[in-house]
Amino acid sequence: TPVQWNSHQYAGFSDHEPWICVNPDYLEWNVESQEKQSDSILNFYRRISRIHHEHECLVTGSWSELLETHPHVLAYLRKGETETALVVLNLSGFCQKIKLPDACVSNVQSALSNYEPRTIEEQMKLKPYEAHLWFLNGN
């Protein structure tokens, strides 16, 4: 569907009726309303983009998977010259239990989460679609 810019007619996409219908949720879900909400999806993606560009390990770092056999959780390290990032993603609509390596659970700093930031633990229960980015201090 056309980009839903605001709550005006045709979602601010055009002054004329577009050839494809505007989604009826444009009154609530549009760029203008998302910009005003600090916890909106739009602002979450902006934070992701900013963090990605600020940390070289996320761009050029080596990649190593941590939970290779877990069917629903993607957990990996991105290691750069000066920093290491830990990413943990629950890709399912159900809670998932994980056990992270000891080396990943001490001296970390939360950088991004789609839920409330939390302390990392060796054994964790992730909420549905929970996602975290931590930086390991001391590389």
What is the spatial distance between Cα 120 and Cα 113, in angstroms, rounded to a whole number?
Answer: 12
Could you read off the pLDDT of 39-51 as tens digits, one per residue? 899 999 999 999 9
**pTM of the full structure:** 0.82
The count of residues in the chain is 139
| Rounded Cα gap, residues 55 and 1, in angstroms | 34
Tell me what pLDDT residue 113 has. Answer: 93
Distance of CA 135 to the CA centre of its chain: 14
- Beta-strand relationship, 123-126 and 73-79: unpaired
Confidence at residue 125, expressed as pLDDT on a 0 to 100 scale: 95
CA distance linking residue 23 with residue 2, whole number of Å:
8
3-state secondary structure the chain: CCCCCCCCHHHHCCCCCCCCCCCHHHHCCCHHHHHCCCCCHHHHHHHHHHHHHHCHHHHHCEEEECCCCCCCEEEEEEECCCCEEEEEEECCCCCEEEECCHHHCCCEEEEEECCCCCCCCCEEEECCCCEEEEEECCC
pLDDT for 118 beyond 90? no
% of the chain with per-residue pLDDT over 70 = 99
pLDDT tens-place string over residues 63-102: 999 999 999 999 999 999 999 999 999 999 999 999 998 8
pLDDT at 138: 63
Q: What percent of the chain lies above the pLDDT cut of 90?
A: 78
pLDDT beyond 60 at 139: no
pLDDT at 58 over 80: yes
Distance CA 111, CA 3 (A): 29
Termini Cα distance of the chain: 44
Whole-number pLDDT of residue 59: 94
